[in-house]
Structure 1
Amino acid sequence: MRPIPHGGNPAEARRRYGLGDRPLIDFSTCLNPFGPSAAVLDAAQAGLERVGEFPEPGCPRLTERIAEFHGVPIDHVVVGAGTSELISLIAQSLREVLALHAYENGDPAMAVSHMVEPTYGEYRRASALNELRVEAWGNHILTWSQDVFPNPAAGVFWTGHPDNPTGRAWERATLLPLIDASLGLLTVVDESYLPFLADEPERTLVQAVTSRENLLVLRSLSPIAAIPGLRIGYAVASPDMVVRLKQYQDPWTITQVAESAALAAVDDLDARQRVVDLLSKETPRLTDRLWNIAGLRPAWPDRERPVNAPSIANFLLVSLSETAWTAPQVHEALAHQGFLVRECSDFRGLEVGALLTGPDKLIATQGHLRIAVRTAPENDRLIAAFADVLSSEPPR
C-alpha cells in the first residue's frame, strides 16, 4: 500500500513547481502558528546533553506527567512517536483479536475497521496493512450532525475530534451514549487538534476512558506545541489496552530530546492559551473573508454564510465551485505566490469533481483545499493571493 500524502512538505512543492529556494508560508500543516515556545526549545536543548544515554523505555517521567495533567491513573497512558505510531500499534493489536472474535462467532465480516470519510488517511492505511476490512461512510460535511455510527457488534471505529480535514468536532453528549451502546466496538477518538478549541474542557473524552473499556483517546503534542519534528503523541486507554499496545511497540521510540521538550510542552499553559485566543478571533474572521471570494466556499452547513461559526479546529476546509479553477491549479498558483496550502484530492470523497452531499443537495466541486489558520497578517496575505488567483483565468 502506498504511503499516505500529508501536508507540511515545502521542499517537495519547491521541486514540483520549480520554485528554487523561494520562501513559502506554510498553511498546509495545522500547527500552532507561533511555533515552539521558548520553554520548549530550551528543554529540547537541554535534552541534547543526554543523547549519549539510552532513553528510558516507556518514557516513565513523561507518562506520569501526562497522567497528572489529565487526572487519570498512570496505567491508562502510553506514549508513542506521534499519533501515527499509535494508530499503527492499535491496528496491530486488534488484528488477531478481531480475527479470533469473528471466527468464534462464525462471521468474518465482524473484523471490521469503521470510519467516516473523508478523514485522516492513516486510519485506513493502518487497517489495511493489518488485514482489517475497512467499511466507510460518506461524510455529510455540509451538516454538523454526525448520525452515522457502525454496528456495535465488533471491530474498531476511528473518528477525529475534531476530524481532519473537515474540522468538525463532536459534542460529548452525543458521542458518549453511542460509545456506551456499542460495547463490542473499540472507539478510537483522535483529539490531536482539540487543544486549539476554547471549549476543549467541555468536549474532551480523556477522563471518560477511566470508566470504559471500549474507548481510546489519542492526543498529539505536535500541533499545539508546534514540534512535529520531535514525534510525540500519546494514547489514553484502559490498562489492558495499554499493555497490548506496549507489547507491539519497539523500544526507544522516543528520544531524549523529544521527551524533554514534551515535558515542557505539557506544562506550557500560557503558550496554549495564546494560540487559543488568536484562533477565537482569526478563525471566524478568516471564514468570513473567504466567503467574499467568488468560487471559494468553506464547507459549511447548507452553503449559507454563518453568523456564528460552530466550534471547529485551527484549519478550514474550502471547496472550489462555480469557477474554472481546480484545486490542484490553485495549489500551484498559490505556491508561486509564496503560499503552501493542502490540496485535498487524495482524501477519499474530496476528489476534483466530487459531489458534496447535504440536506437535499448535491453540489459539484472543482476540488478542495485545507487551510491552516495562522496570524492575522499572514491570513490577510493569503486572502489577497486567493482573490488574485481566482479573479484570473486558469492555465490551459
Structure 2
Amino acid sequence: MTSVRLPQPLAHLHSLPPYVPGRPPTAPVGVTPYKLSSNENPYPPLPGVLEAAERALATMNRYPDMGSVALYRALADRLGVVPEQLSVGTGSSAVLFQLLSAYCGPGDEVVMPWRSFEAYPIAITVPGATPVPVPLTADARHDLAAMAAAVTERTKVVLLCTPNNPTGPALSATEVEEFLDAVPERVLVVVDEAYLEFVRAEDPVDGIALVGRRRNVAVVRTFSKAYGLAGLRVGYLASTPEIAGAVRLVALPFGVSSVAQAAAVASLEAEDALRERVDTLVAERDRLVAGLAERGWRVPDAQGNFVWFGVGERTAEIAAAAEAVGLSVRAFAGEGVRVTVGEPEANARLLEVLGRLAP
C-alpha cells in the first residue's frame, strides 16, 4: 500500500514557543473580579473616541482605507515626521512581525533581551531566523554590553524593549546612544516603546529623535496601552522611509479596520485627557510600589503600567493567592509574576494579599 503524504508546515515552526495570553479573572461569589494579567488600561475610551468609532461602524460594509491616510497624516503631524516614515498595523506586535519578515530569514540572528516580551521569539522564528536571548542583569534591566557583544556577522536585528515587559525598568537615552555607537550600522535596532507614556525616569529615551539621527533605528509603538484601544489593535512603526516602506510591503492588506483607524485618530486628538489619565495610572503605580515596600516587597524600577515580582519557584503560590481573591495575574512559570496596575480597589486588594505573604 502506498503511504499518503499529507501537507506539512515548515519544519522550523515546530520550535515556536506558545504565546500565553493573560487569563480572565474568576472570583468568589460577591467579590468583584479584576483582570491584572494583560497590561490593559482599566479606563474606558478617551473623550470623542467612542463617537468616532460608532460613526465608522456605519460603513462596516465597505473595506477600510488600505492606505490609512487619515491615520498616517495624524501620526505624522503629532510626531513631526512624514507619512513615508510610518507603517501601521494591527498592534505593535503585528508591526514587529512584519518588520522581522521583511528583514530576516533562515540563517539570520536577532539579538534580544530575555526575559522580555513573550512575542519576540515567536516573531523571530516565524521567518526562520534564530533568536539570540541575552539574560537581563540582576536588577531586571537590559545588559546592553552583553547584547552588543552578542552581535555577529549573522545579526540582522536587535530588539530593545523600554520599559521592559514584563520586568519594568526603562533604558536611558544615554545608554541607547552608547549602544548604537557600539553596533554596526548594518544592524537594524528596533526600540519597542509600547509603554513610553508611563515612563517617569530621568534621561528617557526619545525614539522619534533617534529615528531622526540614526539610519538603522526603528521605533514601534501602540495604541493598546495608554490610549486604551487594546480591543481594536492599532500600532505603528516610525523609521526611515526605506525601512518603513519595506515593512509596509509585507503588511496584511486592509489589516487595520475602519473603526480602529477612526478611534486612533480621535485618540490622538484627546491629548489633554490622555495625559490626565496616564498621570492617574502613574500615581496608582507609585502608590502600589510604595505599599509593596511597606510590606517588605521590593520590585524592579517600574516604568510601565505594571510591576514585576521575580519570585522564581514561588510564582505559582503568588499567582494562586491573587486568584483566590479575584485577581488574575500573569505568571511566568519558575520566573515570576507580572501584575498590571489596575483600579484602586484592585491594587488595594493586591496589597492586602501580599501583606499576608512573606517576601
TM-score bracket for the superposition, by shorter chain length: 0.7 to 0.9
In structure 1, distance between residues paired with 2:353 and 2:19: 28
Counterpart for residue 252 of structure 2: 250
Q: 2:104 aligns with which of 95, 111, 120?
A: 95
Q: 1:314 aligns with which of 288, 305, 329?
A: 305
Counterpart for residue 166 of structure 2: 165
Counterpart for residue 238 of structure 2: 236
Deviation at 1:387, TM superposition (A): 2.5
Aligned AA (2:307)? L
Deviation at 1:192, TM superposition (A): 0.6
- 1:129 maps onto 2:126 in alignment: yes
In structure 1, distance between residues paired with 2:39 and 2:180: 28
Deviation at 1:41, TM superposition (A): 1.5
Aligned AA (2:258)? Q
Aligned AA (1:122)? A
In structure 2, distance between residues paired with 1:274 and 1:193: 16
Equivalent residue of 2:178, what SS?
helix
Q: How does 1:113-262 map to 2 (within 5 A)?
A: 113-142=110-139, 146-148=143-145, 149-150=147-148, 151=151, 153=153, 154-182=155-183, 183-198=185-200, 202-262=204-264
Q: 1:36 aligns with which of 35, 38, 45?
A: 45
Counterpart for residue 330 of structure 1: 318
Deviation at 1:336, TM superposition (A): 2.5
- 1:383 maps onto 2:351 in alignment: yes
Check conservation: 2:174, 2:203, Cα contact below 8 A.
no
In structure 1, distance between residues paired with 2:225 and 2:139: 25
Identity %: 25
Deviation at 1:54, TM superposition (A): 1.0
- 1:55 maps onto 2:64 in alignment: yes
In structure 1, distance between residues paired with 2:141 and 2:248: 36
Unaligned runs of 5+ in 1: 100-107, 301-309, 346-351, 353-366, 392-396
Counterpart for residue 5 of structure 1: 20
In structure 2, distance between residues paired with 1:30 and 1:143: 18
With 140-149 and 120-129 compared, the bigger mean Cα shift is at 140-149
Aligned AA (2:130)? R
Equivalent residue of 1:223, what SS?
coil
Equivalent residue of 1:167, what SS?
coil
In structure 1, distance between residues paired with 2:221 and 2:282: 21
Equivalent residue of 2:160, what SS?
strand
Deviation at 1:269, TM superposition (A): 1.1
Counterpart for residue 360 of structure 1: none
Q: How does 1:279-358 map to 2 (within 5 A)?
A: 279-293=281-295, 296-298=297-299, 300=300, 312-320=303-311, 326-345=314-333, 352=334
Counterpart for residue 73 of structure 1: 82
Deviation at 1:191, TM superposition (A): 0.4
Deviation at 1:202, TM superposition (A): 4.6
Check conservation: 1:32, 1:275, Cα contact below 8 A.
no
Runs of 4+ in 1 over 6 A off after TM superposition: 18-22
**1:165-224 per-position Cα deviation (integer Å, ceiling 9, x unaligned):** 111111112202322442121111100100122469952211321332210000000001
With 250-259 and 33-42 compared, the bigger mean Cα shift is at 33-42
Distance 1:88 1:218, change over 3 A: same
Equivalent residue of 1:341, what SS?
strand
Aligned AA (2:174)? A
Check conservation: 1:79, 1:234, Cα contact below 8 A.
yes
In structure 2, distance between residues paired with 1:21 and 1:5: 29
Deviation at 1:82, TM superposition (A): 0.5
In structure 2, distance between residues paired with 1:167 and 1:65: 29
In structure 2, distance between residues paired with 1:21 and 1:223: 29
TM-score using structure 1 length? 0.78
